Every structure is written in structure tokens, then in C-alpha cells.
Amino acid sequence: MTTSVKQEAPHPTTDAADALRELRAREFSRLDADGQVYVDFTGGGLYAASQVTRHGALLGGGVFGNPHSLSPSSVRAGAVVEAARQRVLAYFRADPAEYVAIFTANASNALKLVGESYPFTAASHFLLTFDNHNSVNGIREFARAHGAATTYIPLGPDLRVEVAALEAALSNRDPSAGNLFAFPAQSNFSGVQHPLEWIDRARGAGWDVLLDAAAFVPTNRLDLSVWHPDFVTLSFYKMFGYPTGVGALIARRTALARLHRPWFAGGTISVASVQADRHLLAPGGAAFEDGTVDYLGIPAIEFGFDVLDQVGVEAVHDHVATLTGRLLDGLNSLRHANGAEALHIFGPTTGAQRGATVALNFYRADGTLIDHREVETRAAAHRISLRTGCFCNPGAGEAALHLTRSEIDRCFPTDPDGGGFEPFRQCIDPQKGTGAVRISFGIASNVADVDRVLEFARSIVQA
């Protein structure tokens, strides 16, 4: 299997760097005004000031009604929703003849649509990498309900997928059944970027491919005229902070036609009858937009794309790659006075084949682990917003922390009323821990943010 080797990203051009500085000053001035350092872009993007202003003006200047009507207010709402839908396809360079954009509540809802509707049978196979988000892992429950097999591809050094194991698994399928392969374009735990060449390799081997792009697309170009996954899932608040509560499933029309919805709802049918006990789903993507779409929030998507387009996602990519390199260089140089390791980075320690997400844990001079929750508390005191835990990615967390199956089986809680995670945490070896510290950059990040984080990291080492 061939894999692409992504070289260290170049520094942004002078023009791009100037544009990003101006964008920060114009759209995100509240960060500096409040003395805040925000490094949780993988958790959620920050909205630009103009997004809120323009959205407010749109709502304040128009009358918008439920689109399921021919009234003037409904027609107007339908028009802005459809304009946003076309903008999504255009941004991802998706041919409307090949792809359809379906609005969802978030990426998790988009993934659930695929999982509940995929034609799993007892002969099917659900294949996924170890480092998937829980919203992808959850699809295994739909597969299990139909008797389908589920296989996880393990992670090797730097939390990268073991390619030989993936190659072997792709060759193991029953061609008479539907088989689904799911992987993240970028791990939300470690920042590892998996080769998009896997899409063509898997589809060529007869698999449908589900690409979780939620952590990837805020700072990377996903070009669907080059790559052709069957399903792509994403959330717009991860891309540009606003609106929350709106995501998308971008699906190939031929793949969408193979899905079978297990229920119907308002907005998804052409006709339904109580007496006849029958229903007919609406054609295409409309059958997957349950109820009434967020017709007031969806138009704000266009304003978010406008902000990204002011500088271009390629410039954002180069910018955050430079910041990540600066962070990694600074972290890799930290040692305690006695020479002991001050921290451990989970995943790649260089900028190659990775995104702007860095996971790590800190250690005291005597080698004992500093609990990630303590680090988060200290960071908050420094007005730094970062994230700790396992980030809804248990597979990557288990691999990073070297948690064994026997440990997890022994400690896994069985009583939902017995405290949930806390007994599990107390049972696990405290030197391994149950989570990590995650730092991630985005369009509004700058060098000063990196240096504040490094200053904070040094304060932990010196404590």
C-alpha cells in the first residue's frame, strides 16, 4: 500500500502572514483584550466577529419561516439553506452530480445516520482504525445488531496505523455483503494525519469508505475532486466556531442510495399514511434531514466560509504547521534540572504527517506523572484554555497510555449508578493515568500564544 509522505510545511508567505495578523486583530481582538490564550481548536473553533454581525443583520432584516411551505417566508428560508448547501459542496470541490450535502446537528449525528442506515448483514464487516472518535466507534453497535463483524486496526509507533495490518484486513471481506471502512483524516487525539490514499485503496478492494473529517478540515484542504470517499462527516463549529448545532454528511449519491433508513420523520417523506401503514421516503438527501433543518442557523455557514476564504485554508495550514513546529521544538527541549524527562508527547514529535494537535503528559523530577486534571487547573489560572482527558477517543488513549485489555476489563465500571468514570480512574495505575493534555491551534492562533503555552510548560517543570 502506498502512503503519501507530507514534508514539513513551509512558513507562510509574507502576504499570508500579514493577512493572518490582520485577521486576528480584526476578527478575534477579544482574545488579546481579555488576556486569553485559546489552544483548544480541535475541541471547537472560535467565531469571527464578522460572522455574528453579518448573521445578526441577516436575521434582523428578513422574515424566515419553516421551509416546508410555499409562503414567502418559507421560500426565503429555503433559498438561504440551499445557498449554504451549494457553498458546502463548492468549498470541498464536490461535484453536485456525484455528491450531496445533508445538514445534520453535528458530526456525531451525521455518523449515526450512516451507522443506522448502512446495510449491515451477518456477512458484513465493519473495519476501523484504533484512533477513531467515539461517534465512529458507536457504529459498531449497529453492526453488532445485524451480526456483522467489527475489526480494529492497531496503532504502532507514533500512534500511526500499522499499515500491514490494514492491508491484510482490507483483503478480508465477503463481496456479497456491504463492508464499511472508517477512519479519521486526522486523529483528534494525537494529530496524526492518515494517508488519504487509503480511500482509493479501500474502495478499490470493494469497501465503502467513511471519512471522519471533523478534526482535519478546519486547517487542511479536503478536495473531493481528488479524493472520493463514500461518506464524509464534519461539524461547522469545528471549522469556524459558529454556528454550533450544525454539521454535515457529504455523501456520494450512489453510496447514499444503498442506505436504508430504519425510520421516517417529518421532512424525510414524500407521503405517509396512518391507515395504510405505509410511507415513501423523499428522494436523495432529503430522506436524511430529519424534521426541520436549522434554517436560521445554517445561513451563517456562508459567513464562516467567507472568513476562511479571506486568507485561504492552505495559508491557515502552513500557519498552524509553523506554530506546531515551534511548540514541538520548545517542548522537546524541556528537561528537569536533574536531567529527567519533563513530559512525553503522544504521537509524532516532528511536523511530518501531522496536524496542529499535540497531546502530552507532564512528569515530576522524580518521574511520577502529573495528573492531567491538575495541569488543566494550573492552565486555567494562567488564562490558557486547553483540553485534557481522552477526547472521546478511547482507542488512541489506551494505546498512548499503554493500558492493557486485562487492566481495562478489571477496572471497567459495571454499575451506571456507581460513579461511572471515577472508580475506573482510581483503579488504573496512577503512573499510567487516564488521560492527556491536548494543545491545538487554529486560524486565530499566533506566535504569542505558543510562547505563552511554552512559558506555562516551563512553570510546571520548575514547580
- Catalytic residue numbers, as ranges: 392
The secondary structure of 288-349, three-state, reads HCCCCCCCCCCCHHHHHHHHHHHHCHHHHHHHHHHHHHHHHHHHHCCECCCCCECEEEECCC
What distance, in Å, lies between the first and last C-alpha atoms of the chain?
A: 47
14, 15, 19, 25 alpha-carbon torsion, rounded to 10°: 40
DSSP one-letter string for 86-153: HHHHHHTT--TTTEEEEEESSHHHHHHHHHHHS---TT-EEEEETT--HHHHTHHHHHHHTT-EEEEE
From the number of C-beta atoms within 10 Å of its C-beta (0-12, 13-18, 19+), residue 433 rates as: buried
Q: Do strands 179-184 and 125-129 pair parallel, antiparallel, or not at all (unpaired)?
A: parallel
Cα–Cα dist 343/365, whole Å:
10
